[in-house]
Chains A and B, each alone.
Chain A
Amino acid sequence: MQKKYSVLLLILALAATSGLPHGRELEERQIITALCVDRFDAEISLTALTAVRASENEEPELLTAQGFDMDSAIQSLQSARASQAYLGQTEKLLLGEGIAASELLKTLEYVLDHHDLRLDTLLYVVKGSAGEGLSATAPTVSGETPGRDERGVSVAWALSQLCEGRKVEIPALALGDKGSLEPAGWAVLAPSGLLGYTGKTVTASVCWEGARYG
């Protein structure tokens, strides 16, 4: 009898602590590969790029959402469609100039706390609006050389440096002549926010793991 109660207790404990409400079928999720965060006046604006298979005749989609803070904006993004926007596979976090200057640590700590967003997400600063840059880039993303950006700086590393009071340089991007995001030097971040940009050359091209996975 004791064994039966122990088993029942175990099952109840698992059900209660498992995070069962977060369990969703994989196909009910929309994988987000890149997330842009901008601040426009009183609103946080998010722009997300979805991932699709290269063998399917689909274009990556751009999802947008707004909220008065990161939390509400993320919730708005996730509940916007029937399939939940899933941030667990997000590889790139692009911060607009505005939010990098004013709410850098707050945004990065939100990534730290969020149960889906990963700390190894690569961090970029986009000159101007990150969302506009991504929107312009998305159609040209397909066909880019796949592979992880070796020069990329992860959110975890950047946050650890900033929390110790140090400055950190992360790749900066800007909308280029071709209408897509291109390397634009390095952004210098401090705990207070974006300090400026250095002119050091990055590389000839962004190693952008496109939203299309072959």
Chain B
Amino acid sequence: MSLFGNPAPTDPPHPRKEPRLPGPLTSERLAEVFAGCVDFNRRSVAVGGNQALRCELIFLAGMVRMERVSDYVLRPLAQDKALGELGESIAWEKMRAGALYGLSVTERDTLDDAVSDLIDGNCLLLFPGKERALSFNVGTEEKRGIAGPENEVSVKGPRDSFVENLRTNTSLTRRHLKCPELRITEQIVGRQSLTPVDILWIDGIADPNTVKEVEARIQNIDIDALLATGNLEEYLIDDLDTPFPLALTTERPDRFCYGLCQGKVGILAEGLPLGWLLPGVVGDFLRTPQDRADNWMLASALTVIRWVCLLVTLFFPAVYVAMVNFHPEAIPTRLALSIMAARRDVPFSALFETLMLLVAFEILQEAGLRLPQSMGQTVSILGGLVVGSAAVEAKLISPAVLVVVAVAGVAGYTMPSQDLAGALRLWRFLLTLLAGLAGLLGVVAGAGWLIGHVAGLESFGAAWLDPFADGEPVLRQPLPADKLRPAHLNPQNRRKQK
């Protein structure tokens, strides 16, 4: 048994069957495809009451809206006597042309297309013996209502967020960006899930090469099902050997549209209430939608605080361990005596204490995520206050380490991106270990390693350390002065305002 799974198989993936479902498009064949499925429904209908002219209506219960099937298809089919007096061919043409009340009617002549339509929530009308079907869009629109964003809360800004329904998400995008140059193309990902994935960009702004690259990478995804964000993200990014995020995800349509206006390429997927923006660089993960709502000075100050918090969350525990173990001369005497008094009778070394508390912090965080909301807060309070206080009183840990780890943890929570915060948590452990090994020398070596690592990251041709790489402003300028789109996106039109 290996830690990271079995070695990659040597045999190639199964070739895709074309067509996936062989055979003619008949109601019998459809019944075979859905044999045993309790939601498969097939009924014979006399057209216009004429028993000699019968057709079959096929649908999947739960995928169609019953009222639409009854009102838009069955009722005119059964009650339009004129329709029943026509021959089969003419009746077919009339039904296709609008004798039935479906908003969209498509003629299907392959089994694959017909089955796909059934699963999408269409109903099919077939005449016996004819290998073709009329497909009516009568799908149910059961979906989660548009609510406020849960993770990207903004005090002053829109309160809508993406939902699981792809078409709703594209409509939210179009409501924010009414330009006709907004392009939305679609691909299907997942052999079993057949998940539609939309690629969005603004023609004339986004770099066409980036668009092509995104399309190509999505085209290359050959997986079972697209059910989690990783199923898409890990196949799109340039480098998997990094915990740092290389694609920006957002649940806010306004942030998504802002990215499109900047020249990024967006991705939306059915079933995932998120949008991706590519490329993603470090500056994106340290900005919030609230920044453009606040005064530019306040937004800049908050951005500086976030950068400082990034350094604090990364280095504070490591520097503490380094100072206490290797460089106590750098600690003021009073502080050193306080730390010594606090650590008296604690049986563990500073390094072990720090690592132990960092792990405990992660455990508390993880537990808080998994628990139901009603219990989560109670457990967090219990874990944080009671266990922490009890551990200090029992002299298992010193208050100094508790403060250090708590400050580092809280500083990590200021990161707007949870993906970035997760990467920083991992590196925090590594730097602390290096500090315990070699003091500040270890911390500096670790910092050098980290900088070397992130300097080598790229996202669709853009350096991850932009804005430092390109000389873009780190802080927020006043919006009237922000006249150019970022250079690293290579937009076709750099100027965005006069």
Smallest beta-carbon distance B352→chain A, Å: 10
Interface residues on B, range: 20 to 34
Contact for A89 among B326, B333, B346, B434, CB less than 8 A:
B333
User: Which among B437, B438, B445 has the greatest number of chain A C-beta atoms within 10 A?
Assistant: B438
Nearest A-chain residue to B438, judged by Cβ = A18
In the bound complex, how far is the Cα of B278 from the Cα of A84, in angstroms?
Answer: 57
User: Which among A14, A15, A33 has the greatest number of chain B C-beta atoms within 10 A?
Assistant: A14
**Cβ of A2 under 8 Å from chain B:** no
1/0 per position for B349-366, CB-CB distance to A under 8 A? Answer: 110000000000000000
**Cβ of A178 under 8 Å from chain B:** no
In the bound complex, how far is the Cα of B354 from the Cα of A26, in angstroms?
Answer: 14
**Cβ of B388 under 8 Å from chain A:** no
Point out the residues of chain A lying under 8 angstroms from B325, CB to CB: 23-26
Interface residues on A, range: 20 to 34
In the bound complex, how far is the Cα of B350 from the Cα of A23, in angstroms?
Answer: 11
Instruction: Name the prevailing secondary structure of the A interface residues.
Output: mixed
**Cβ of B441 under 8 Å from chain A:** yes
Whether B326 contacts A19 by the Cβ 8 Å rule is: yes
Contact for A25 among B343, B437, B439, CB less than 8 A:
B343
Whether B336 contacts A11 by the Cβ 8 Å rule is: no
Contact for A14 among B324, B329, B340, B437, CB less than 8 A:
B437
Instruction: Kindly identify, within residues 51 to 87 of chain A, every residue whose CB is under 8 Å from any CB belonging to chain B.
Output: 51-53, 56, 86
Knowing A14-B445, A25-B343, A27-B340 are in contact, say whether A20-B438 is a contact too (CB < 8 A): yes
In the bound complex, how far is the Cα of B220 from the Cα of A40, in angstroms?
Answer: 85
Point out the residues of chain A lying under 8 angstroms from B441, CB to CB: 14, 17-18
Smallest beta-carbon distance B74→chain A, Å: 66
Smallest beta-carbon distance B430→chain A, Å: 10
**Cβ of A143 under 8 Å from chain B:** no
Whether B438 contacts A17 by the Cβ 8 Å rule is: yes
Whether B341 contacts A56 by the Cβ 8 Å rule is: yes
In the bound complex, how far is the Cα of B337 from the Cα of A116, in angstroms?
Answer: 17
Smallest beta-carbon distance B325→chain A, Å: 5
4 closest cross-chain pairs (CB), A and B: A18-B438, A88-B329, A14-B438, A213-B334
Given contacts A26-B331, A26-B343, 5 further A-B contacts (CB under 8 A): A18-B442, A24-B325, A29-B340, A88-B328, A89-B329
Contacts from B to A (Cβ < 8 Å): 324-326, 328-329, 331, 333-334, 336-341, 343-344, 346, 349-350, 434, 437-439, 441-442, 445, 449
